[in-house]
Amino acid sequence: MEPVHPDPTIGCHVVAMPYPGRGHINPMMNLCKLLVSRKDRIAITFVVTEEWLGILGSEPKPAKVRFATVPNVIPSERCRGTDFPSFFEAVMTKLQEPFERLLDWLEPSVIVYDTFLAWMVGVGNRRNIPVASLWTTPALAFMVLQHVDLMVQNGHFPLNLSEKGNEQIDYIPGIPPTRVEDLSTIFTDNEQVMHRLREAISFVPKAQYLLLTSIYELESHTIDALRNIIHIPIYSIGPAIPYFNLKDNDNDNDYVQWLDSQPKSSVLYVSQGSFLSVSKAQMDEIIVGVKNSGVRFLWVARGEASRMKELCGSDEGVVVPWCDQLKTIVEDWKIGWKVRRGIGKEEQLVTREEIAGLVRRVMDLESEEGKEMRKRAKELREICQRATLEGGSAETEIDAFIRDISLSYNH
Cα angle value 100/14/232 (rounded, 5°): 90
Amino acid identity at 395:
E
Say if CB 134 and CB 29 are below 8 A apart.
Answer: no
Domain 254-383 has CATH 3.40.50.2000: yes
DSSP-assigned beta bridge partners for residue 271: 300
pLDDT band at 286 (very low <50, low <70, confident <90, very high): confident
Count the neighbouring beta carbons within 10 Å of the beta carbon of residue 9.
Answer: 8
Burial group, residue 179, by CB count within 10 angstroms (0-12, 13-18, 19+)? middle
pLDDT at 263 over 90: no
β-strand pairing of 65-70 with 42-49:
parallel
- The pLDDT value recorded for residue 1 is 47
What's the pLDDT tens digit per position in 2-30? 445 555 556 799 999 999 998 899 899 99
User: Lowest mean pLDDT: which of 211-215, 218-222, 311-315?
Assistant: 311-315
- The pLDDT value recorded for residue 210 is 98
Strongest mean pLDDT among 79-93, 131-145, 355-369, 371-385:
131-145
- The pLDDT value recorded for residue 305 is 61
Q: Quick one: average pLDDT of 91-119?
A: 97
pLDDT band at 281 (very low <50, low <70, confident <90, very high): confident
What's the pLDDT tens digit per position in 46-55? 999 999 999 9
pLDDT at 162 over 70: yes
What's the pLDDT tens digit per position in 183-200? 888 898 899 999 999 999
The architecture (CATH level 2) of 12-245 comes to 3-Layer(aba) Sandwich (3.40)
- The pLDDT value recorded for residue 22 is 84
Burial group, residue 386, by CB count within 10 angstroms (0-12, 13-18, 19+)? middle
pLDDT at 266 over 50: yes
- The pLDDT value recorded for residue 393 is 94
The residue extents of the domains of the chain are 12-245, 254-383
Residue 116 CB partners (closer than 8 Å, separation 6+): 19, 24, 91, 92, 196, 197, 200
Q: Do the domains spanning 12-245 and 254-383 agree at the CATH topology level?
A: yes
Angle of the 96-103 helix axis to the 84-94 helix axis, nearest 10: 30
Say if CB 230 and CB 127 are below 8 A apart.
Answer: no
β-strand pairing of 168-169 with 234-236:
unpaired
Say if CB 401 and CB 14 are below 8 A apart.
Answer: no
Query: Using CA atoms in the order 42, 135, 270, 244, what is the torsion angle rounded to 10 degrees?
Result: -30
Q: What is the mean pLDDT of the chain?
A: 85
pLDDT band at 273 (very low <50, low <70, confident <90, very high): low
- The pLDDT value recorded for residue 79 is 82
**Rounded-to-integer distance, Cα 121 and Cα 129, Å:** 9
pLDDT at 251 over 60: no
Q: Quick one: average pLDDT of 70-76?
A: 96
- The pLDDT value recorded for residue 11 is 79
Q: According to the 3-state scheme, what is the secondary structure of 72-139?
A: CCCCCHHHHHHCHHHHHHHHHHHCHHHHHHHHCCCCCCEEEEECCCCHHHHHHHHHCCCEEEEECCCH
pLDDT at 335 over 80: no
Say if CB 83 and CB 104 are below 8 A apart.
Answer: no
DSSP 263: P
- The pLDDT value recorded for residue 133 is 98
